[in-house]
């Protein structure tokens, strides 16, 4: 798996990019996390488990400790973007992952946060496998990150095809015309029932067919991934999301490695 080191470095850099965006946003919004506000720890801890009600948790999750935690994640993110050596990469990924898990305890993680955590765990396993010369460990990281994204795409398509509002295009129209996620550019488009139904089925079929892209040559797989990234980017622009497209992008190097490994096992190369 050492041949995949450039893709591993790319994945680490993309994780850093996503983490930098998220951390910078949290730091700019840190005033809202003071105890006097609704997001302050004094109120938030009341709905958390016993573990988060301890004195140690208060030191970490109250606004001063939270600021340090987010700043540490930002530093680790920027260092990952700088493409460090393998040993430093492992240490930075560990720091990033610990910070991400603690922040998930503090506030509910969204889909992008969960994808970044998966990408980070996969990259950490790959880096450890290369550093320890353990190909199986590196492959486990590829399967973890690349495999989970592949399953996620397929499961997303499968769940949509089972839902009648999605098959009729009504769910897509409702999402893109809502007050929270709608946009004046897309609202007129998705109000056309035929167009919306066509778009909904295009999304469903592409997601269902994504696992087949792993059997394609690397250049074709990269083209498919580029298309999915542009789709995520468009959704992020329309729905006002921040790190959402970059979280998915961080897993794509692992998907490429997974495709190369699968083609090799099946004798397609």
Q: Give pTM, 2 decimals.
A: 0.88
Of the pLDDT bands very low, low, confident and very high (cuts 50, 70, 90), residue 112 is: confident
What is the pLDDT confidence band of residue 96, given thresholds at 50, 70 and 90? very high
Q: What is the pLDDT of residue 257?
A: 95
CA atoms within 13 A on the CB side of 258: 25
Domain regions of the chain by residue span: 2-265
Residue keyed to tokens 């946009």: 183
Residue 187 has pLDDT above 90, yes or no: no
DSSP character at residue 210: G
Of the ranges 41-50, 134-143, 146-155, 236-245, which one carries the lowest mean pLDDT score?
41-50
pLDDT at 153 over 80: yes
What does the block give as tokens for 88? 């430093």
**Angle ∠(68,70,20) on CA atoms, nearest 5:** 140
Cα–Cα separations (whole angstroms), residue 69 to 42, 113, 207: 18, 16, 36
pLDDT of 64 reads 80
| Least-confidence region, from 21-35, 166-180, 188-202, 245-259 | 166-180
Q: How many CB atoms lie within 10 A of CB 109?
A: 16
Tell me the range of 105-114, 188-197, 255-264 where mean pLDDT is highest: 255-264
């Amino acid at each position: 798996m050492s041949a995949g080191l450039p893709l591993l470095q790319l994945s680490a850099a993309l994780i850093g990019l996503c983490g930098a965006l998220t951390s910078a946003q949290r730091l700019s919004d840190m005033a809202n996390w003071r105890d006097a506000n609704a997001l302050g720890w004094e109120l938030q801890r009341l709905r958390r488990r016993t573990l988060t009600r301890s004195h140690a948790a208060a030191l970490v999750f109250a606004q001063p400790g939270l600021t340090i935690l987010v700043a540490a994640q930002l530093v680790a993110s920027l260092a990952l973007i700088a493409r460090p050596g393998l040993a430093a990469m492992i240490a930075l990924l560990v720091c990033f992952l610990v910070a991400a898990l603690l922040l998930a305890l503090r506030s509910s993680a969204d889909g992008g946060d969960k994808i970044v955590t998966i990408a980070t765990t996969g990259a950490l396993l790959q880096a450890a496998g290369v550093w320890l010369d353990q190909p199986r460990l590196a492959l486990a990281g590829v399967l973890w990150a690349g495999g989970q994204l592949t399953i996620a795409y397929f499961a997303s398509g499968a769940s949509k095809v089972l839902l009648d509002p999605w098959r009729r295009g009504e769910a897509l129209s409702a999402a893109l015309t809502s007050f929270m996620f709608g946009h004046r550019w897309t609202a007129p488009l998705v109000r056309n029932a035929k167009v919306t139904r066509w778009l909904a089925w295009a999304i469903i079929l592409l997601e269902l067919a994504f696992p087949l892209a792993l059997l394609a040559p690397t250049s074709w797989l990269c083209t498919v991934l580029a298309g999915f990234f542009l789709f995520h980017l468009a959704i992020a622009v329309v729905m006002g999301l921040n790190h959402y497209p970059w979280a998915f992008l961080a897993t794509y190097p692992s998907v490429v490695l997974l495709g190369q490994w699968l083609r090799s096992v099946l004798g397609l190369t």
